[in-house]
Amino acid sequence: MRSRSALTAAFVSAALLLAGCSGGEEKESPSADPVTEKVEPATWPLTGEQLAEGKAAERDHPVLVAKIDNTSSASPQVGLGKADLVFEEMVEGRMTRLAAFFYSTLPTEVGPVRSMRATDIGIVSPVDGVLVTSGAAEETKARLARAGVTFIEEGVAGFRRDPSRSQTYSVMADLKTLAKGKKAKPARPDDYFVFGAPEDLPQGKPAKAFDVDFGNHTTSWAFSNGTYANVNGLAGQGDEFPATNVLVIRVKVADAGYTDMAGNFVPESVFEGEGQAQLFHGGKVIDATWSKDGRSGALQLEANGEELKVPVGKTWVELLPVDDAKVTLKK
């Protein structure tokens, strides 16, 4: 697991006294007092993009991960266009919910915010992300607390209710306000992926349009003008997530150990171990494998026996169950 420490390391060498060779005089050499400072990468950790000049000072908050509803009742979703990274995960009834990562930009309105799941432990832990949630079942809160995951739930400054929406889907979050509650400057998160350039990718096969079917929800993608668009998404016009990459990760699904209020089985996507993956970029797809050492471990990708680097840019991750779910390429 990669180190999370971004603290300055100081190495001080003692002054060396050297004997002079002329006239028997002893000459004292200048004291050597080098200080080696670990320099943070000048890139954003969730996209690999270069920091604009003067932007480093803005990295004074943790990664905030908003849980956003992904059913028709959520329309329009707000803030997705400003996210750096998005995970789509299965919830009860084989519907889906989004975990939207915000770091380079903190919008003043994101939502509708919904409850978190145990699945989120494996999603946010690699970058010490702070979950922004409307709440959760007590069992889920206990699981996240034991895993050391921080979360902020409705009831503090930074949340509001939108009266134009139905009660369940009315929670909105101001991420700038929520970030102010995190006073200590955190260490820069590790990069979520090993980033690279498109020319680093192995040969793929054409994939300009495809469906990701979770069983009771399908997310449809189409490639155009350099990015993949979620053609049946719920984001407001002009607020869509511009996906440079779509990464499909096949995961096992476990029983979270309790049911929802309607008595439905609550699934937990197990985001650790290893499995099959597909990386969509530039209108092509590359078959790959993934591995992750524990829920907080770094995600590793391989294709053809070699490390697979994710092209710099925004990535949408489909955390897709191994069973009863599929990806269909379309012409």
Res 320 pLDDT > 60: yes
125 with 233, same domain: the answer is: no
pLDDT at 295: 95
Structural domains counted in the chain: 2
87 with 170, same domain: the answer is: yes
227 with 126, same domain: the answer is: no
Report d(CA 90, CA 117) in Å as an integer: 10
64 with 107, same domain: the answer is: yes
* Mean pLDDT of the region 305-324: 98
* Mean pLDDT of the region 260-266: 80
Report d(CA 4, CA 27) in Å as an integer: 44
Q: For residue 215, what are the domain limits?
A: 195-246+272-330
How does pLDDT run across 207-256, given as a tens digit for each residue? 999 999 999 999 999 999 999 999 999 999 999 999 999 999 999 999 98
- Provide the 3-class DSSP secondary structure of residue 125: helix
Residue 298 CA, distance from chain mean position: 11
* Mean pLDDT of the region 46-62: 83
Report d(CA 120, CA 132) in Å as an integer: 11
Tell whether 145 is covered by a domain.
yes
Domain end marker among 150, 180, 210: 180
Res 8 pLDDT > 50: no
Q: What confidence tier does 4 reach under pLDDT thresholds 50, 70, 90?
A: very low
Res 71 pLDDT > 60: yes
Strand partners, 110: 173
